[in-house]
Amino acid sequence: MCTVAQGLMEKGRTEQITKDILISISRYRKLGLDNETIRNIIIEDYQLDEQEIDTFLCK
């Protein structure tokens, strides 16, 4: 049972991080930052690789 609960908690964390990244990207775009600058900030803040961040920037 603990494994199921841990899986649900991890899924919730992953979904929250995804929402946080999308909100951050939206805010940076409103500030007029270009995609390259946003990419660098998100990579640094969330420790993502370049392929992962590209999926977010296309949304």
Q: How many domains does the chain have?
A: 1
Sequence-ordered list of residues with C-beta below 8 angstroms from that of 28, at least 6 positions apart, any chain: 37, 38, 41
pLDDT score of 55 more than 90 = no
Domain that holds residue 45: 2-57
pLDDT digit string, tens, across residues 4-38: 555 555 666 788 889 999 999 999 999 999 999 99
Q: What is the pLDDT of residue 32?
A: 97
pLDDT score of 1 more than 70 = no
Of 51, 45, 44, 56, the closest CA to residue 18 belongs to 56
- Tell me the whole-structure pTM to 2 decimals: 0.74
